[in-house]
């Protein structure tokens, strides 16, 4: 068992920040849709897919086993 004060490894934190970046990027893309009420391709398809992939990456980063040695 490691004496590190951090609960995750460096890999887990990298995935956490990448997932957070994807979530923010997805919301930015949804907001950039030029059609009324965001009902175009970017607001209804591309943005939610990117946001969902960010949440999936967040879950993976949390539940992935840390490989500390």
Contact 23, 54 (CB under 8 A): yes
Give me the pLDDT at residue 2, please. Answer: 58
Q: Structure tokens of 4? A: 């590190």
- CA gap 51, 57 in Å, rounded: 10
- CA gap 54, 28 in Å, rounded: 13
pLDDT tens digits, 42-63: 999 999 999 999 999 999 999 9
Give me the pLDDT at residue 67, please. Answer: 62
pTM for this entry: 0.85
Give me the pLDDT at residue 29, please. Answer: 95
Give me the pLDDT at residue 60, please. Answer: 96
Give me the pLDDT at residue 44, please. Answer: 94
Give me the pLDDT at residue 51, please. Answer: 98
Q: Structure tokens of 24? A: 């923010």
Contact 27, 54 (CB under 8 A): no
């Amino acid at each position: 068992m490691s004496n590190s004060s951090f609960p995750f490894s460096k890999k887990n934190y990298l995935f956490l920040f990448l997932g957070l970046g994807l979530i923010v990027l997805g919301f930015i893309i949804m907001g950039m849709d030029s059609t009324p009420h965001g009902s175009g391709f970017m607001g209804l398809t591309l943005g939610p897919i990117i946001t969902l992939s960010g949440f999936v990456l967040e879950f993976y980063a949390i539940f992935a086993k840390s490989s500390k040695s």
